[in-house]
Amino acid sequence: MALYIGFDSSTQSLTATVIEGGGKRRVVAEQVVVFDEMLPAFGTTRGVHTSADGRTVTAPPAMWVAALDLMLARLRDAGVDLSAVRAVSGSAQQHGSVYLNARFGDALEHLDAERPLAPQLERVLARPDAPVWLDCSTSGECGELTDAIGGPGALAQLTGSRAYERFTAAQIRKFARSRPADYAATSRIHLVSSFMASVLCGADAPIDPGDASGTNLMDLPRRAWSSRALEATAPDLARRLPVIRDSWSIAGLIAPYFRRRYGFGDAKVVTWSGDNPCALIGLGLIAEGQLGVSLGTSDTVFAATPRPDPDPSGSGHVFASPAGGYMALTCFANGSLARERVRDAYGLDWTGFSQLLQSTPPGNGGALMVPWFVPEITPTVDVRGPIRRELDPGDAARNVRAVVEGQAMAMRLHAQWFAPAVTTIRATGGAAANRAILQILADVFDAEVVQIAPPNAASLGAALRALHADHLASGTPMPWSDVLEGFTAPLPNAGARPRQSAVAAYAALLPRYTALIRDTMDRSC
């Protein structure tokens, strides 16, 4: 039996999807470690620590490795034969950066299998908290980086994105400037993905081009660090960054720590990637033509694309795809968080939320909400608090519909630059379990929404990447269509089909929603 594991180290949890890649192609196991619930000692809320003003958002890397220990113990105790694992890979929340001191390499090489990982690695962190994608404290640094490269258009042409607060370049610049002594003591800066891969192989791992695209530091067409961007970010940065290697490269074999403690054999560790690039693979979006939607902590819309042409409006991103080629993506910070705020404000659970969604008409009788509960990324605004039009805050049912409709219309608007006409949407993420939400997506996009069987496309994508890279490294390369076979087919009787009366209602509402956003932006500038 040939097993492959894909991890997804996301904002709120670590997921592992174990697949059998031989004759029988199936998901063998899936486990989730929820950080707040299962690792309460780290004191996170939804996986992060947030400053009083809401702008600085970090997470402890020690929690992510503690979750890895917990996960492997759970897989072993659930009877997964870890000695049969041929390769592992992973997906991680994008943009977050981990700062490591000179003892990192030595600590990885000498991990003691009798003791848990977290206390052994805590002392190699040059800063105990990693800034993560929800951070929006670096507007000044973004401006400086943009000026140094010659404007937002030039930066997007070079790196695939204009400067974003959450992207790693701005975060590194802020750290180097505000804590120069700690920066001087930092000998390696990893992304969450390459940090986790390093721990698994007990040595410094490379970054793949998919996740490196989320740094504002990589020359996207060349898939190499841009010396101009590095120089504009922080002194002596090149030696602090890991090498960039193909997404299918082998970072090493799994470290002795994991063999002794959990019974792994010679499993390969395949370079990790970002959660959105991995979800692209897990949803089977290798070729162009279909849209992926991930309804997780963030909401993202994405699709494979052949060229690295940036979003003309500046809101979206182009990343390298881990299957080769590129992917276009737009990310919204007000995803599950906004839906949860509305759910909690009216004392609902998800069943009650869905019932209210179904009890209200498409178009909500003209009531609108721009769901900016936290500062939004797309478009970048500092506004905090939802904007309501013709919507009574006391009306639970209409607010529930308004938040989901507002999100779906924003997705439609900001997917237009890379997917002007969509016939099928593949959905994943925690909220994709909710068919009432999927129905609104189908109606707003006038497209069929389908689901694949494994609930977490990012960890499935990582497992499929492990399978693909293992075959390549073993001299038996497998085309992507064969890799995906049996894993990414749409589930029958799931998802949602567009209903024509609802489609017409949203076609009428969309220009009003666009005008409301434009009006709000004008007033906030």
336 binds, among ligand ADP, ligand XUL, none (CB under 5 to 8 A by kind): ligand ADP
Return d(Cα 168, Cα 146) in angstroms, integer: 14
Q: Which stretch binds ligand ADP (CB under 6 A): 5-13, 119-127, 194-202, 443-451?
A: 5-13
Span 309-348, contacts to ligand ADP by CB under 6 A: 336, 339-340
* Position with the least CB separation from ligand XUL: 94
Cα–Cα distance measured from residue 427 to residue 316, given in angstroms and rounded to the nearest whole number: 19
Question: Exposed, middle or buried by CB within 10 Å (0-12, 13-18, 19+), for 504?
Answer: middle
Give me the least distance between CB of 259 and ligand XUL, in Å please.
31
Give the Cα separation of 260 and 345 in Å (integer): 49
Region near ligand XUL per CB under 6 A, out of 138-146, 179-187, 296-304, 431-439: 296-304
44 interacts with ligand ADP by CB under 6 A: no
Query: Does 454 help bind ligand ADP (rule: CB under 6 A)?
Result: no
Q: Which is nearer to ligand ADP, 268 or 398 (CB)?
A: 398
* Window 202-241: residues binding ligand XUL (CB under 6 A): 214
Backbone phi and psi for residue 3, each to the nearest 5 degrees, phi listed first: -105, 150
Whole-number Å distance between alpha carbons of 330 and 313: 11
CA–CA distances in Å: residue 62 to residues 167, 184, 192, 441, 452: 21, 21, 11, 37, 32
Residue 276 token pair:
């959105």
Peptide bond connecting 379 to the previous residue in cis, omega within 30 degrees of 0: yes
Minimum distance, C-beta of residue 92 to ligand XUL, in the bound complex (Å): 8
The identity of residue 189, as a single letter, is: I
Contact between 428 and 455 (Cβ < 8 Å)? yes
**Buried/exposed 302-313: b ≥16 CB within 10 Å, e otherwise:** bbbbeebebbee
Q: Which is nearer to ligand ADP, 34 or 478 (CB)?
A: 34
Q: Token match 């950066």: residue?
A: 97
CA torsion angle for 99, 105, 107, 108 (degrees, to 10)? 100
331 lines the binding site for ligand XUL (CB under 6 A): yes
276 binds, among ligand ADP, ligand XUL, none (CB under 5 to 8 A by kind): ligand XUL
**251: enclosing H helix or E strand:** strand 250-253
Q: Which of 10, 58, 194, 290 binds ligand ADP (CB under 6 A)?
A: 10
* CA dist., res. 485 & res. 21, Å (int): 10
Residue 94 as a binder of ligand XUL (CB under 6 A): the answer is: yes
Find, among 438, 452, 434, the residue nearest to 492 by Cα. Answer: 452
Applying CB under 6 A, what is the total number of residues that bind ligand ADP?
A: 15
13 binds, among ligand XUL, ligand ADP, none (CB under 5 to 8 A by kind): ligand ADP
Coarse DSSP helix, strand, coil percentages of the chain, rounded to the nearest 5 percent: 40, 20, 40
Structure tokens, 299: 């909401």
* 300 contact choice in ligand ADP, ligand XUL, none (CB below 5 to 8 Å, kind-dependent): ligand XUL
Q: Which of 131, 429, 461, 498 binds ligand ADP (CB under 6 A)?
A: 429
- Amino acid code (one letter) for 88: V
Rounded distance between C-alpha atoms, residue 212 and residue 136, angstroms: 19
Residue 146 or 297 having the CB closest to ligand ADP: 297
Is residue 276 a contact residue for ligand XUL (CB under 6 A)? yes
Q: Which is nearer to ligand ADP, 342 or 415 (CB)?
A: 342
SS3 (DSSP) at 141: helix
Q: Which 344-373 residues touch ligand ADP, going by CB under 6 A?
A: 350
- The neighbour count for residue 483, using CB atoms within 10 Å, is 24
Tokens of 34: 């929820």
From the list ligand ADP, ligand XUL, none, partner contacted by residue 133 (C-beta under 5 to 8 A by kind):
ligand XUL
Binding mask 152-191 for ligand XUL (x = CB under 6 A): --------------x-------------------------
Residue 430, interface with ligand ADP (CB under 6 A)? yes
Residue from the set 95, 188, 398, 412 that interacts with ligand XUL by CB under 6 A: 95
11 or 407, CB closer to ligand ADP? Answer: 11
336 binds ligand XUL (CB under 6 A): no
| Binding region for ligand ADP (CB under 6 A) out of 106-114, 232-240, 367-375, 428-436 | 428-436
Q: Does 133 bind ligand XUL (CB under 6 A)?
A: yes
300, 305, 407, 451: residue in contact with ligand XUL (rule CB under 6 A): 300
Contacts of 57 (CB under 8 A, 6+ apart): 48, 49, 50, 51, 131, 132, 133, 134, 135, 136
Interface with ligand ADP (CB under 6 A), residue from 29, 348, 433, 521: 433
Distance CA 405, CA 129 (A): 35
Query: 401 or 465, CB closer to ligand XUL?
Result: 465
- Min. distance of Cβ 232 from ligand XUL in angstroms? 21
Q: Which of these segments, 109-117, 156-164, 367-375, 426-434, binds ligand ADP (CB under 6 A)?
A: 426-434
Give all strands of the β-sheet with 448-451 in edge-to-edge order.
Answer: 317-320, 326-332, 299-305, 291-295, 424-428, 448-451
Q: Which is nearer to ligand ADP, 158 or 411 (CB)?
A: 411
Site of interaction with ligand XUL (CB under 6 A): 10-11, 93-95, 133, 166, 214, 274-276, 296, 298, 300, 331
- What residue ranges bind ligand ADP (CB under 6 A)? 10-13, 296-297, 336, 339-340, 350, 429-431, 433-434
